[in-house]
Amino acid sequence: MLSDREVLSTLEMLKNEHLDVRTVTLGVSLFDCAGHDPEKFKENVQRKIFRLAGNLVKVCDEIGIRYGIPVVNKRVAVSPIAVAACSFSRPQMVEVARKLDETAADIGIDFIGGFGALVEKGFTEGDRALIAAIPEALASTRRVCSSVNVASTRAGINMDAVYLMGKTIKDAAELTREADGIACAKLCVFANIPEDVPFMAGAYLGVGEPDSVINVGVSGPGVVKKAIDRARAANPHLDLGALSDIIKRTSFKVTRVGELIGRQVAEKLGVPFGVVDLSLAPTPNVGDSVGEIFQSLGLQSIGVPGTTAALALLNDAVKKGGAFASSYVGGLSGAFIPVSEDLNIAAAASRGYLSMEKLEAMTSVCSVGLDMVALAGDTSAETLAGIIADEMAIGVINKKTTAARLIPVPGKKAGEKASFGGLLGEAVIIAVSSNFGSREFISLGGRIPAPIHSLIN
């Protein structure tokens, strides 16, 4: 049972430290909607999402008010469309995306994920049609998100898919040139993608998941920062081991709150409860930044030497505390380091503390990857593919999830600012060295073999 002091500290988190449930995501399987008639498929999809998710927003709001814990985002994740609609052509895939967007608007959610494919070992015709449809689908919709898994530790890295995604990102950026390439903000390229991610843009419902399920993503960077600040103010001699323990205890309480809300929503909707994703998800608001935690740990700024070690400590402590608080932990479960979505990280990038190389190094210990990184508009498809390949290699070799959400901003250069609006925030465009230095390597294609793990060094 929680002590009086722990109850009071949880209330303080809610009142003053930005504690919220960042997202409740309802997974909906579309495999029973499959067929060869596109019109019938779209009708089945719309009917099923309405039936299962029609009350999602209302129920989340009711539960949030009852416990005084806001649910910030309500979302739906569906089966990979490349699988559920595998017989459709590129134009038909675009029409499916528009139907998903229309349905999402009708039920009042902010994003719907799952317009994606799993191609780590090769392509089906459905995969090719879906990837070809991504630029137009994301440019012509507001709420549809897409993810493509191009690598896994068991399969290796599909370099043909990596190159194709480099070209796809370029095309998506050009189609939304007037909005700084915002379509790319809804597109993630993954290695080892989990099947139960509640966060966008990577959310989808995997083939091993139930017909419908509630997955929850907690937040809490502001809560963790305040806990560290209070502890160091009370005892300036605390070492990193003691601070790790404080983060762990804080994560425990945050996770219990997330699981409480998730189970209540699941019960009310009559669907199973899935997992809690322990990721620390920032916002572009002061006091709710992952980057500020690094300063609380004694670093001048996120990005200076020591940052990767601090991120490793933070991630590990959050996972240990969260795993003890919940029986079902899943998704990404780490610290997001999205450049544009975190005010402090964006500022560190603009001051030169965060380079592409430092961000990449940090992703070797976080659970997400290069996230919301704005690049110059003339960054070539081969260079984008090279960056993606590097990020996939980190995930494949280290048996972890990594992702790349890259935004080549049309017409802008390194040092200029790109703005994406709302929670997507804004960021200074980061320089990339040797824009055309990857061309020959990327053009080789093929599949980089899966790594051997018995000879570890």
Encode pLDDT of 226-277 as tens digits. Answer: 999 999 999 999 999 999 999 999 999 889 888 999 999 999 999 999 999 9
Residue 256: half-sphere exposure toward Cβ, Cα within 13 Å:
15
DSSP per-residue letters across 319-332: HHHHHHH-S-EES-
What is the tens place of the pLDDT at every residue in 14-34?
Answer: 666 667 888 999 999 999 999
* Res. 407: pLDDT tops 90: yes
Average pLDDT over residues 71-94: 96
* Res. 425: pLDDT tops 90: no
Average pLDDT over residues 191-195: 95
Confidence of residue 380 (pLDDT cuts 50, 70, 90): very high
- Maximum distance among all alpha carbons in the chain? 68
Other CB atoms within 10 Å distance of the CB of residue 447 = 18
Cα angle 364, 366, 371 (rounded to 5 degrees) comes to 95
Residue 453 within any structural domain of the chain? no
Residue 347 within any structural domain of the chain? yes
Other CB atoms within 10 Å distance of the CB of residue 59 = 22
Q: What are phi and psi of 118, to 5 degrees?
A: -120, 105
C-alpha separations of 10 from 3, 68, 103 in Å: 11, 11, 37
Res 11: pLDDT = 65
Contacts of 219 (CB under 8 A, 6+ apart): 18, 19, 20, 21, 22, 72, 254, 280, 281, 288
> 43: which 2 tokens?
């009708």
Average pLDDT over residues 53-68: 93
CA neighbor of 107 nearest in space, from 78, 147, 136, 68: 78
Question: Cis omega (within 30 of 0) on the bond before 84?
Answer: no
Res 8: pLDDT = 61
Q: What are phi and psi of 255, to 5 degrees?
A: -65, -40
* Res. 3: pLDDT tops 60: no
Confidence of residue 286 (pLDDT cuts 50, 70, 90): low
Other CB atoms within 10 Å distance of the CB of residue 58 = 13
CATH of the domain at 6: 3.20.70.20
> 169: which 2 tokens?
């990102």
Percent of the chain at pLDDT > 70 equals 95
Res 281: pLDDT = 80
Confidence of residue 342 (pLDDT cuts 50, 70, 90): confident
Taking the CA atoms of residue 87, residue 92, residue 96 and residue 102 in that order, the dihedral angle to the nearest 10 degrees is -160
> 342: which 2 tokens?
């975190």
Other CB atoms within 10 Å distance of the CB of residue 235 = 9
Separation between Cα atoms, residue 169 and residue 350, nearest integer Å: 23
Average pLDDT over residues 421-448: 89
Contact between 124 and 116 under an 8 Å Cβ cutoff? The reply is no
Separation between Cα atoms, residue 96 and residue 130, nearest integer Å: 10
DSSP per-residue letters across 18-64: ---EEEEEEEE--GGG--S-HHHHHHHHHHHHHHHHTTHHHHHHHHH
Res 51: pLDDT = 96
SS3 (DSSP) at 276: strand
What is the tens place of the pLDDT at every residue in 196-233?
Answer: 999 999 999 999 999 999 999 987 788 899 999 999 99
Contact between 173 and 183 under an 8 Å Cβ cutoff? The reply is yes
Its domain, for residue 301, covers 1-443
1-15, 366-380, 386-400, range with the lowest pLDDT: 1-15
Separation between Cα atoms, residue 317 and residue 333, nearest integer Å: 11
Contact between 67 and 260 under an 8 Å Cβ cutoff? The reply is yes
Residue 237: half-sphere exposure toward Cβ, Cα within 13 Å:
0
Res 457: pLDDT = 72
Separation between Cα atoms, residue 317 and residue 320, nearest integer Å: 5
Res 311: pLDDT = 94
> 376: which 2 tokens?
């110059």
Separation between Cα atoms, residue 401 and residue 395, nearest integer Å: 5
Q: What is the mean pLDDT of the chain?
A: 92
Res 52: pLDDT = 96
Res 423: pLDDT = 77
Separation between Cα atoms, residue 345 and residue 355, nearest integer Å: 11
The total of structural domains in the chain comes to 1
C-alpha separations of 261 from 116, 198, 204, 281 in Å: 28, 14, 21, 17
Contact between 214 and 274 under an 8 Å Cβ cutoff? The reply is yes
